[in-house]
Amino acid sequence: MLARIFAPLSSLWPLPLRVAVGIVFAFHGYDKLFGKAGVLGAGVPGVADFFGNLGIPFPEVFAWVVASVEFFGGFCLILGLFTRYISLLLTIDMIVAILMAKAKLGGLLAVRGYELELSLLAGALALLLGGPGPLSIEKMLFRKEL
């Protein structure tokens, strides 16, 4: 019964995933860039300090890269623009976050586990594999998925 109802809409599955994952990444990227949301609180300098404490090389450079990819990439996902390229970058971002930051803080069962990062990794990976779907800027502008 439900299959019959939702089958005509099955190609739209990327839309809610793109929007939800995009909002979360844009919010976290905003906090990393501007430090207004209170998560890390100090913008790029705070992220660079955090990265440096984790032993990540060139922490200032990677702080800017990660913050920009998350912020601008989040908006690209919401719009469905360069979805697969952005999803690849965000997949790498989350793998590094889990391995370099969260695993060192105690893993999944720690007070600040990596369930958020794991969920975002799954969402980014699904969009990397599945593409933006028919309701995307990519489809409207280029008549195909990039």
Report helix angle 115-130 to 83-96, nearest 10.
Answer: 150
Q: Are residues 78 and 18 in contact, defined by beta-carbon separation less than 8 angstroms?
A: yes
DSSP assignment letter at 83:
H
| pLDDT at residue 3, rounded to an integer | 85
Blockwise average pLDDT, block size 10, the chain, 146 residues: 87 96 96 75 87 93 97 98 98 93 67 83 98 94 79
What was the pLDDT predicted at 109? 64
pTM of the model: 0.88
- Domain chopping of the chain, boundaries: 14-142
The secondary structure of residue 1, as a DSSP letter, is -
